[in-house]
Amino acid sequence: MLRHDSRSENQLRNVEIETNVMKYSEGSVLITFGDTKVLCSATVEERVPKFIRGKGTGWIAAEYQMLPRATQTRNMRESTKGKVSGRTMEIQRLIGRSLRAVIDLTLLGERSIIVDCDVLQADGGTRTASITGAFVAVQLAIQELMRKNIIKKNPVKDYLAAISVGILPSGECVLDLDYKEDVAALVDMNLVMTGSGRFVEIQGTGEEATFSGEELNTLLFYGKSGIETLIAKQKEVLLVSKRQETSQEKKEVLIATRNKGKAKEFAAIFAEKGFTVKTLLDYPDLPDVEETGKTFEENARLKAETIAQIVQGPVLADDSGLIVDALLGQPGIYSARFAGPNKSDAANNAKLLHELTGIATEKRTARYHCTLVLAEPNKESLVVSGELEGTIGTIPQGENGFGYDSLFYIPSEKKTAAELSEDQKNRISHRAKAIEALRGQWKS
């Protein structure tokens, strides 16, 4: 076994970031890396240190401290000793410097954010955990300032996280050393990096040992991948905490779609019911969910349940498509990817016309299908669907709508879906019918 806790060489410890854990701080975070636990609290003060006063720019500083029993034996508090150690001083300056690298101090205005990083339990990597947690605490404090309209523009230029890497006595390069590994390590390195993959600081030392350029590259590579994971985690928790605040204030539904046409229809239909609609287009940090299901329901479930689990709130997803009888139900769940993975309405329509070449009008019957899944964490999902009957035309007609609308002729309206006004389509569409079915079941 390579590592005493059976991690692989490039595996982080279990990382948790709990937000808003303190009542009075503008932003607070409890960050955990295995047995290392750091409490980070960000305070906003309407003043700046003397040396920048009157310049209109802000300041960010950090303090770092270990609780007496953060370690195996009790360490006297530095306040009792009456002296801040060199190590503490160095670490708190590193934290402050790192945060200032990604925050535009002029946009902060003449105010300070002070981050207190208190190590509750130390099992290696406390300074890097402090930086990773402090960044989230500062972001939360800034979100608060923006919500209160105290600052207009977000001063956060990039994400920021830190991690340790090192070389074990076995010669193996590893990511995220715990204390046991750290004391034995031949080489010990702390990396601070941004979301765009740039370095803020590299602290690397051979402990009575040396390391090669090749080993350095491996360490940087492991560190970079660890930091990417940490930043994805930061994005996730920040998004959840932001959504919890906004959804408390407003009636808002999150729809797990990136399709602009759908988004517009949902917004119009839900507006009548007093809801605002947000989609994945509003949250670019949320992942793309692969549609690996074999039915509309499976795909809609995948989209809704994956995103609901991440945002820890209710999420609606739509999986829809065109079912053409002469094509034995195709394109069906593959409607968006009918002409290939690069999703283009024009290419899909061209392919549909091509496949139907020579098929007589009365044999060109089709229907739009929509399955909606409403998912909430730890609840059974609601599943509803709706359909709209039509036939496939031979030339595109109409400018409205999206997808296959200009080829989808609706006999009852004597128009294609693209010739209907937005309102008309939203009254009769498969999507509208599904939403109507949902309404009866959805208590909110």
Ligand X SMILES: O=c1nc[nH]c2c1ncn2[C@H]1C[C@H](O)[C@@H](COP(=O)(O)OP(=O)(O)OP(=O)(O)O)O1
Of 32, 41, 139, 259, the one binding ligand X by CB under 6 A: 259
Residue numbers in the known binding site are 87, 125-127, 257-262, 290, 319-320, 402-405, 425, 430-431
Q: Indicate whether 336 belongs to the interface with Mg ion (CB under 5 A).
A: yes
Query: Is 102 or 307 the residue whose CB approaches Mg ion more closely?
Result: 307
- Minimum CB distance to ligand X, residue 346 (Å): 11
Q: Nearest CA to 229 among 132, 154, 305, 117?
A: 132
Beta carbons of 202 and 100 less than 8 angstroms apart: no
Q: Does 41 bind ligand X (CB under 6 A)?
A: no
335 binds ligand X (CB under 6 A): yes
CB of 325 closer than 8 Å to CB of 266: no
Do 418 and 396 form a contact (C-beta atoms < 8 A)? Answer: yes
| Of residues 165 and 417, the one with the C-beta less far from ligand X | 417
Long-range contacts: 93-98, Cβ < 8 Å, 24+?
93/62, 94/127, 94/131, 94/192, 94/201, 94/203, 95/62, 95/64, 95/127, 95/130, 95/131, 95/134, 96/60, 96/61, 96/62, 97/200, 97/201, 98/131, 98/135, 98/160, 98/162, 98/192, 98/200, 98/201
Side chain identity, residue 68: P
278 binds ligand X (CB under 6 A): no
Which residues ranging from 347 to 386 are in contact with ligand X (CB under 6 A)?
348, 368
Segment 42 to 81, residues that bind Mg ion, using CB under 5 A: none
Residue number, 90 or 422, with CB nearest to ligand X: 422
Pairing of the two strands 15-19 and 173-175: unpaired
Q: Is 140 helix (H, G, I), strand (E, B) or coil?
A: helix
Cβ proximity to ligand X, 42 vs 324, nearer residue: 324
- 429 sits near ligand X (criterion: CB under 6 A): yes
Calpha distance 239→278 (Å, rounded): 13
Residue 131 vs 336, nearer CB to Mg ion = 336
Q: Which is nearer to Mg ion, 296 or 408 (CB)?
A: 296
Name the minimum Å distance from CB 439 to ligand X: 19
Residue 209 CA to residue 341 CA, distance in Å, equals 51
Binding-site members for substrate are 257-262, 320, 402-405, 425, 430-431
Q: List the single partner that 403 binds among ligand X, Mg ion, none, CB under 5 to 8 Å by kind.
A: ligand X
CB 20 within 8 A of CB 137: no
- In this structure, the strands spanning 252-255 and 276-279 are parallel
Min separation Cβ 359 and ligand X, Å: 20
Cα(19)–Cα(233) distance, integer angstroms? 12
**Cα(174)–Cα(183) distance, rounded to whole angstroms?**
14
The residues, any chain, with a CB within 8 Å of residue 125's CB and separated by 6 or more, are 33, 36, 163, 164, 176, 177, 178, 182
Stretch that binds Mg ion, among 74-82, 131-139, 215-223, 329-337 (CB under 5 A): 329-337
In the bound complex, which residue of the shown chain has the CB atom lying closest to Mg ion? 336
Binding residue positions for phosphate: 87, 125-127
In the set 319, 364, 381, 420, which binds ligand X (CB under 6 A)?
319
Min dist. Cβ of residue 320 to ligand X (A): 4
Q: Among ligand X, Mg ion, none, what does residue 429 contact (CB within 5–8 Å per kind)?
A: ligand X
* Binding residue for ligand X, selected from 220, 336, 366, 435, defined by CB under 6 A: 336
Residue 168: C-alpha distances to residues 15, 32, 186, 353 (Å): 22, 23, 6, 63
- Tell me which of 5, 319, 345, 423 is the catalytic residue: 319
Instruction: Choose one: 82-90, 113-121, 307-315, 318-326; the region binding ligand X (CB under 6 A).
Output: 318-326
Q: How many CA atoms lie within 13 A of 125 on its CB side?
A: 31
Q: How many residues bind ligand X (CB under 6 A)?
A: 22
319 is catalytic: yes
Residues in the site for Mg ion, rule: CB under 5 A? Answer: 336
List active site positions: 319
Residues in the site for ligand X, rule: CB under 6 A? Answer: 257-259, 262, 291, 318-322, 335-336, 348, 368, 401-405, 417, 429, 431
